[in-house]
Amino acid sequence: MPDLVALAARVAAGDISALSIRQPYPHHIFHDGKDVENRDWPTRRRGWIIVHAGISKVELDMDEPRERGLPRGGVVGMARIVDCVTEMDSDWFFGRYGFVLRDAFALPLIPCRGKLGFFELDEGIRAQVAHAIRAAVTTDVPHG
């Protein structure tokens, strides 16, 4: 299990970037074992990222109540990038590049705007994310 107290401090200090991912993929990362984020571009970045769920409905089945209700338009959790690959033995890999993910955990939705690529969150949003991480420590949120 990651040291969430130290992670919260790093988030508050602005040491960790965010990446916007369209639902339902963040949900699959946190709840269904999705272990890779598919992209058309590579990254050398390794370490923690803040997962932002974009507002786009493109990937969602809006006729499916479960998908329609997924949180969008803000931070929804965190994950750790441990590698960037072009091949992977995972049912979730289908991209040109795959950011291999570990230690993902969900957080309650913290509304904010996303951007393309890796991006920095405003100080106020970082403070809210750090608070949510600290709250997870006291409520013993399961981590995966």
Q: Give tens-digit pLDDT for 85-125.
A: 999 999 999 989 999 999 999 999 999 998 999 999 999 99
- Encode pLDDT of 10-47 as tens digits: 999 999 999 999 988 999 999 999 999 999 999 999 99
79, HSE (Cβ side, Cα atoms, 13 Å): 31
Candidates 112, 118, 85, 109; CA nearest to 99 is 85
Q: Are 130 and 9 in contact (CB under 8 A)?
A: yes
| pTM of the shown model | 0.88
* Burial group, residue 2, by CB count within 10 angstroms (0-12, 13-18, 19+): middle
Tokens of 118: 């890796």
- Encode pLDDT of 41-63 as tens digits: 999 999 999 999 988 766 666 66
Q: 24 preceded by cis ω (within 30°)?
A: yes
C-alpha pair distances (Å), 88 with each of 35, 51, 93, 99, 109: 10, 21, 6, 10, 30
* pLDDT of amino acid 143: 45
Q: What is the mean pLDDT of the chain?
A: 89
